[in-house]
Amino acid sequence: MNTVTIPVHRDLQAERRIAAAAFRDELTRRGVFCVNLISSPGAGKTTLLQATARAWPEQGRLAVLVGDIATDRDAERLAPYLPVKQLTTGGACHLELSLVQKGLAALDLEGVEYLFVENVGNLVCPASHDLGEHLRVVALSVTEGDDKPGKYPKAFRTSQACVMTKVDLLPYVPFDLARAEADARLIQPAMSFFPVGALTGTGIADWCQFLQHQRASLITGVARR
């Protein structure tokens, strides 16, 4: 009813894809493996990154850009663990590449091998925006229900890994890990799954090892070119 179609004579989506690919190449050349972490609000992205940094063998090699609509609460929580820069969208429901690039300019990447981008808490809109990441990870907390992958298909279809968070709450909530995995695999058959309890450290070692393997594959691939 309120739709107006306007020809703009520019393929904005193609421009965005090209810009993201160029940024990804630049990060690869610098040896920086970039992870775009998406999830619902309160699924535990920040707590996962805290636990990841605590468990990481050489902490100096991690950095994080953290997106939020308002406040710098997540950056405050992460600052004791790793270099962090808050990106505040001022109302927007997802991060865009330009904001990530602006934030990165304020972050010292010297020696950084892993850059996490913690997206705005939103299981819908961030799935449509390529931030130049090498790996997209969707976090799903077991308190959200095992029916969520099918209900939010794009977040799962565009991710390569899924971290099932808050597994220490499994005894108290109706959530079947196998059912959630099966539901996600219908959408993304190649998905890797990592059940974690970030507050207790459960599953964090496997998750860290996965990231290290992913970066190693990328760097080896680049060396072979």
3-class SS letters over 159-189: CCEEEEECHHHHHHCCCCHHHHHHHHHHHCC
Q: Which is nearer to a second copy, 24 or 215 (CB)?
A: 24
Least Cβ distance, residue 22 to a second copy (angstroms):
12
Q: Is residue 19 involved in binding a second copy (CB under 8 A)?
A: yes
Exposure on the CB side of residue 83, measured as CA atoms within 13 A: 18
Least Cβ distance, residue 189 to a second copy (angstroms):
17
Q: Is residue 61 involved in binding a second copy (CB under 8 A)?
A: no
What does the alpha-carbon distance between residue 135 and residue 199 come to, in Å, rounded to a whole number?
24
Candidate residues 83, 121, 195, 203; the one interacting with a second copy per rule CB under 8 A: 121
Residue span binding a second copy (CB under 8 A) among the ranges 29-37, 53-61, 131-139, 149-157 = 149-157
Residue with tokens 């934030």: 103
Name the burial class of residue 2, with classes exposed (0-12), middle (13-18) and buried (19+) by CB atoms within 10 angstroms of its CB. Answer: exposed
3-class SS letters over 101-134: HHHHHCCCCCCCCEEEEECCCCCCHHHHCCCCCC
Residue span binding a second copy (CB under 8 A) among the ranges 8-16, 110-118, 130-138, 217-225 = 8-16
Least Cβ distance, residue 94 to a second copy (angstroms):
8
Q: Is residue 90 involved in binding a second copy (CB under 8 A)?
A: no
Q: What distance separates the 2 farthest-apart alpha carbons in the chain?
A: 56
Q: Is residue 73 involved in binding a second copy (CB under 8 A)?
A: yes
What does the alpha-carbon distance between residue 23 and residue 188 come to, in Å, rounded to a whole number?
25
* Residue ranges in contact with a second copy by CB under 8 A: 1-2, 4, 6, 8, 10, 12, 15-16, 19, 40-43, 68-71, 73-74, 91, 93, 98, 120-125, 141, 143-145, 147-148, 150-154, 166, 168-169, 172-173
